Homo-oligomer: A and B are copies of this chain.
Amino acid sequence: MQYQFELGMKVRDYECDLQGIVNNANYQHYIEHTRHEFLLSRGVSFAELHQRGIDAVVARLNMAFKTPLRSGDRFVSRLAMRKEGIKYIFQQDIFRLADQKPVIRATVEAVCLVQGRLGTCPELDALLLDAADASDNNGSVPAATPHPNA
Protein backbone atom coordinates (compact mmCIF):
# COMPACT_ATOMS: atom_id res chain seq x y z
CA MET A 1 0.00 0.00 0.00
CA GLN A 2 1.25 3.41 -1.03
CA TYR A 3 0.37 5.88 1.72
CA GLN A 4 0.53 9.67 1.30
CA PHE A 5 0.36 10.73 4.89
CA GLU A 6 0.84 9.38 8.36
CA LEU A 7 0.23 10.66 11.83
CA GLY A 8 1.59 9.32 15.10
CA MET A 9 -0.76 9.31 18.08
CA LYS A 10 -1.08 7.70 21.48
CA VAL A 11 -4.10 6.20 23.22
CA ARG A 12 -5.60 8.43 25.89
CA ASP A 13 -7.09 6.56 28.85
CA TYR A 14 -10.50 8.21 28.48
CA GLU A 15 -10.74 6.56 25.05
CA CYS A 16 -10.77 3.11 26.66
CA ASP A 17 -14.05 1.58 27.75
CA LEU A 18 -15.02 -0.95 30.39
CA GLN A 19 -13.43 -3.73 28.35
CA GLY A 20 -10.09 -1.95 28.94
CA ILE A 21 -9.57 -1.37 25.22
CA VAL A 22 -10.10 1.63 22.99
CA ASN A 23 -13.83 1.98 22.32
CA ASN A 24 -14.55 1.30 18.65
CA ALA A 25 -16.07 4.71 17.98
CA ASN A 26 -12.73 6.32 18.80
CA TYR A 27 -11.13 4.76 15.73
CA GLN A 28 -13.54 6.87 13.72
CA HIS A 29 -12.24 9.88 15.64
CA TYR A 30 -8.65 8.87 14.96
CA ILE A 31 -9.15 8.52 11.21
CA GLU A 32 -11.25 11.70 10.95
CA HIS A 33 -8.46 13.58 12.71
CA THR A 34 -5.94 11.99 10.36
CA ARG A 35 -7.88 13.15 7.29
CA HIS A 36 -8.13 16.68 8.66
CA GLU A 37 -4.41 16.78 9.50
CA PHE A 38 -3.67 15.46 6.01
CA LEU A 39 -5.71 18.34 4.57
CA LEU A 40 -3.96 20.83 6.83
CA SER A 41 -0.55 19.50 5.82
CA ARG A 42 -1.56 20.49 2.24
CA GLY A 43 -2.89 23.87 3.36
CA VAL A 44 -6.58 22.97 3.42
CA SER A 45 -8.60 23.57 6.59
CA PHE A 46 -11.74 21.50 7.09
CA ALA A 47 -13.15 24.20 9.40
CA GLU A 48 -12.48 26.98 6.90
CA LEU A 49 -14.03 24.96 4.05
CA HIS A 50 -17.15 24.61 6.22
CA GLN A 51 -17.29 28.35 6.82
CA ARG A 52 -17.19 28.89 3.05
CA GLY A 53 -20.12 26.51 2.59
CA ILE A 54 -18.05 23.55 1.44
CA ASP A 55 -18.47 20.37 3.43
CA ALA A 56 -16.69 17.12 2.82
CA VAL A 57 -19.04 14.50 4.22
CA VAL A 58 -18.57 10.79 4.67
CA ALA A 59 -21.00 8.72 2.63
CA ARG A 60 -19.76 5.25 3.55
CA LEU A 61 -17.38 3.68 6.02
CA ASN A 62 -16.00 0.17 6.03
CA MET A 63 -13.80 -0.76 8.96
CA ALA A 64 -12.16 -4.05 9.95
CA PHE A 65 -10.96 -4.30 13.54
CA LYS A 66 -7.77 -6.36 13.79
CA THR A 67 -5.99 -5.76 17.10
CA PRO A 68 -7.39 -3.63 19.91
CA LEU A 69 -5.34 -0.75 21.24
CA ARG A 70 -4.92 -0.42 25.01
CA SER A 71 -3.97 2.21 27.55
CA GLY A 72 -0.61 3.74 26.69
CA ASP A 73 -0.30 2.24 23.20
CA ARG A 74 1.28 4.40 20.53
CA PHE A 75 0.10 4.00 16.99
CA VAL A 76 0.51 5.31 13.46
CA SER A 77 -2.46 6.28 11.34
CA ARG A 78 -1.73 6.09 7.59
CA LEU A 79 -3.76 7.45 4.69
CA ALA A 80 -4.00 7.14 0.92
CA MET A 81 -6.51 9.04 -1.18
CA ARG A 82 -7.96 8.50 -4.64
CA LYS A 83 -11.02 9.63 -6.60
CA GLU A 84 -13.70 7.49 -8.25
CA GLY A 85 -16.36 9.52 -10.02
CA ILE A 86 -17.43 12.17 -7.55
CA LYS A 87 -16.27 10.12 -4.56
CA TYR A 88 -13.04 10.73 -2.69
CA ILE A 89 -11.89 7.40 -1.32
CA PHE A 90 -9.55 7.27 1.62
CA GLN A 91 -7.77 4.09 2.57
CA GLN A 92 -6.98 4.54 6.24
CA ASP A 93 -5.04 2.00 8.22
CA ILE A 94 -3.79 2.16 11.79
CA PHE A 95 -0.81 0.22 13.04
CA ARG A 96 0.41 -0.32 16.59
CA LEU A 97 3.79 1.37 16.80
CA ALA A 98 5.57 -1.24 18.91
CA ASP A 99 5.20 -4.11 16.44
CA GLN A 100 3.49 -2.56 13.38
CA LYS A 101 0.57 -4.95 13.88
CA PRO A 102 -2.52 -3.76 11.98
CA VAL A 103 -5.10 -2.30 14.34
CA ILE A 104 -7.82 -1.32 11.89
CA ARG A 105 -8.17 -1.17 8.14
CA ALA A 106 -10.77 1.28 6.92
CA THR A 107 -12.13 2.61 3.66
CA VAL A 108 -13.90 5.94 3.80
CA GLU A 109 -15.93 7.31 0.90
CA ALA A 110 -16.56 11.03 1.04
CA VAL A 111 -18.37 13.45 -1.20
CA CYS A 112 -18.35 17.21 -1.40
CA LEU A 113 -21.36 19.33 -0.60
CA VAL A 114 -21.18 22.89 -1.91
CA GLN A 115 -23.84 25.06 -0.29
CA GLY A 116 -25.62 21.83 0.57
CA ARG A 117 -25.56 20.27 -2.93
CA LEU A 118 -23.31 17.56 -4.32
CA GLY A 119 -20.47 19.32 -6.08
CA THR A 120 -16.79 19.39 -6.79
CA CYS A 121 -14.20 20.76 -4.47
CA PRO A 122 -11.04 22.04 -6.19
CA GLU A 123 -9.23 22.05 -2.84
CA LEU A 124 -9.70 18.30 -2.50
CA ASP A 125 -8.99 17.63 -6.18
CA ALA A 126 -5.65 19.37 -5.77
CA LEU A 127 -4.70 16.76 -3.18
CA LEU A 128 -5.15 14.09 -5.82
CA LEU A 129 -2.45 15.58 -8.03
CA ASP A 130 -0.35 15.46 -4.98
CA ALA A 131 -1.28 11.79 -4.59
CA ALA A 132 -0.22 11.09 -8.16
CA ASP A 133 3.12 12.64 -7.37
CA ALA A 134 3.40 10.47 -4.33
CA SER A 135 2.88 7.31 -6.34
CA ASP A 136 5.98 8.13 -8.38
CA ASN A 137 7.76 8.34 -5.13
CA ASN A 138 8.61 4.69 -4.45
CA GLY A 139 6.48 4.36 -1.39
CA SER A 140 8.06 7.02 0.75
CA VAL A 141 5.66 9.16 2.74
CA PRO A 142 6.32 12.77 1.76
CA ALA A 143 4.88 14.50 4.77
CA ALA A 144 5.38 11.96 7.49
CA THR A 145 5.03 13.58 10.85
CA PRO A 146 6.99 12.73 13.93
CA HIS A 147 5.39 10.43 16.48
CA PRO A 148 4.68 12.70 19.38
CA ASN A 149 4.52 11.20 22.83
CA ALA A 150 0.96 12.28 23.37
Once the chains bind, are B12 and A29 in contact (CB under 8 Å)?
yes
Instruction: Select which of B62, B71, B146 is within 8 A of A45 by beta carbon.
Output: B71
Q: How many residues of A contact B (CB 8 A)?
A: 46
The listed residue (B7, B13, B32, B57) touching A32 by CB distance below 8 A is B13
Q: Cβ of B13 and Cβ of A24 under 8 Å apart?
A: no
Residues of B within 8 A of A57 (CB): 19, 65, 68
Give me the 9 closest cross-chain CB pairs, A-B, nearest first. A148-B148, A47-B71, A25-B28, A16-B18, A12-B33, A25-B25, A61-B63, A18-B20, A60-B64
A36–B13 CB distance below 8 A: yes
Once the chains bind, are B70 and A64 in contact (CB under 8 Å)? no
User: A103: shortest Cβ distance to chain B, in Å?
Assistant: 13
Q: How far is the CA of A11 from the CA of B145 in the complex (A)?
A: 16
Which residues on B sit within 8 Å (CB–CB) of A100?
Answer: none
Q: Which residues of B contact A7 (CB under 8 A)?
A: 150
Question: Which chain B positions have C-beta within 8 A of A126?
Answer: none
Docked Cα-Cα span, A25 to B36, in Å, equals 15
